[in-house]
Structure 1
Amino acid sequence: MEKIKVLLADDHQIMLDGLKAIFAKDKSIEVVGTASNGLEVLEFLKNQSIDVLLLDLQMPVMDGLETTMHVKKSYPEVKVIMLTTNDEGSIITSLFKVGATGYLLKNASKESLIQGIKDAFEGKKVLSSHLTEKMIESLHEKPKPREGEIPKITKREIEVVKLIAQEYTTQEIADALFVSTNTVATHKRNLFVKMDVKNSVGMIKKAVDWGLI
């Protein structure tokens, strides 16, 4: 039986070492590589195919959400599982919207991690049991911000957010909107300030909460 090829991505080496030790005990799973951020993931995939990507949400250079969007666009056959400590329903919903196959918490048991890899490989959705209710609440009970709480987001900025959520790269956004990549970068910086977020995970989360996408 051919082994399930897994790539691990986390910016903490101790986490990578622990995961490799767990999966080494299962003969059906082979860890073919590790990465410390999303860019390293994309570089790895240029040279080697994988079945499942298990990655952290918060990583430097390129976070888990943005990495998932790029991976699913260029390598749609790859199953992506987020492994994180964040259990916010809106973030979980956002990840599934951009193509993630699973969402597991870092306190999951060894057995759950191994089974999650196998289920994802078979095309099944993977979600830590108690997160199901949080995701459903996020889908049906989107909080409406108080009047005046949402800053003025321009029509062009909303277009940028929507394209980011649709897995467009900075260059592709520039091409779609007939502007330069510098202009796109400026829009993104302005959005980070207006939405009071530090990365695309926060941007997409607030955009979903505010009903922008």
Structure 2
Amino acid sequence: MTDRPGATRRKVRVVLADDHTLFREGLRELLETDPDCSVVGEAGNSDDALALVERLRPDVLLLDVEMPGPGAAAVIDRLARSRSTTRVIIVTMHENPAIVHDLLERGANAFLVKTIAGEELIAAVHSVNRGRDNVLLSVSRDTMDRLDGSRGRIEPAQQPLTARELDVLRLVAKAFSNGQVAARLGITESTVKRHLTNVYAKLQAVSRVDAIRKAVGAKLLSEDDRLR
């Protein structure tokens, strides 16, 4: 969609499904710090999650693996049978490669561990909402090595990075913190975070290391830009 002066940008509509109320509240607060995200519903079990998705037709469903009810696999299967256009992001503490592989094969669009940074989660929400054929992974190297490499492979940048985004990424590649990047470039730390969120979305990355790797692979950064 092309933004016009005075036009209201459409927010990404998200449903949260997790049986831990405190975690859901934290997710809601995090996502609503992004002006382009809107949490439209919450569920504490799989049945309620399905009912909300069918009624509200959100853009993205953040889904825990272990909840009361039929479970994540059944939710994804049900959405597939109903030809739902809602994108599914698995957010869990479990990294069992068999579970990762099974849920991705069933049609999950991302598999993220709950230890990821908030800005990475927001970037993942925007990335799966924009990219209809992409799969995002944020798991340990051991889990990645044990997965079938045919899934979870993401192509490099679909959109060019701006000059400022590249400046930020070059400093991040040299292990500068957000505060150090801000001081070096003469911008605020919140601006650095916003640039990184854009970088993650454009590169379809889920972490700083992943963004750097993809930027090098896409020849947006050189090996010399990496920390020595």
TM norm. shorter chain > 0.5: yes
Equivalent residue number for residue 139 of structure 1: 148
Alignment of 1:121-200 (within 5 A): 121-123=129-131, 124-128=134-138, 130=140, 134-139=143-148
Q: Distance in 2 between matches of 1:71 and 1:79?
A: 10
Q: Distance in 1 between matches of 2:108 and 2:55?
A: 22
Cα RMSD for the two superposed structures: 1.6
Q: Does 1:47 align with 2:55?
A: yes
Corresponding letter in the other structure for 1:111: E
SS in structure 1 at match of 2:111: strand
Q: Deviations over 1:123-175 (max 9, x none)?
A: 232211535x62452327xxxxxxxxxxxxxxxxxxxxxxxxxxxxxxxxxxx
Query: Residue 78 and residue 136 in structure 1: after superposition, are their counterparts in 2 closer, same or farther (change >3 A)?
Result: farther
Runs of 4+ in 1 over 4 A off after TM superposition: none
Q: Distance in 2 between matches of 1:69 and 1:22?
A: 28
SS in structure 2 at match of 1:57: coil
SS in structure 1 at match of 2:56: coil
Query: Residue 8 and residue 64 in structure 1: after superposition, are their counterparts in 2 closer, same or farther (change >3 A)?
Result: same
Equivalent residue number for residue 92 of structure 1: 100
Q: Distance in 2 between matches of 1:68 and 1:39?
A: 12
Q: Distance in 2 between matches of 1:29 and 1:60?
A: 27
Conservation of the 8 A alpha-carbon contact between 2:90 and 2:110: yes
Q: Distance in 2 between matches of 1:44 and 1:18?
A: 19
Identity of aligned residues (%): 29
Q: Which runs of 5+ in 2 are unaligned?
A: 1-8, 150-228
Conservation of the 8 A alpha-carbon contact between 2:17 and 2:63: yes
SS in structure 2 at match of 1:115: helix
Q: Which runs of 5+ in 1 are unaligned?
A: 141-213
Alignment of 1:21-60 (within 5 A): 21-60=29-68
Q: 2:112 aligns with which of 85, 97, 104?
A: 104
Q: Distance in 2 between matches of 1:129 and 1:97?
A: 16
SS in structure 2 at match of 1:46: helix
Corresponding letter in the other structure for 2:15: L
Name the count of aligned residue pairs. 139
Q: Distance in 1 between matches of 2:124 and 2:12?
A: 12
Q: Distance in 2 between matches of 1:9 and 1:16?
A: 8
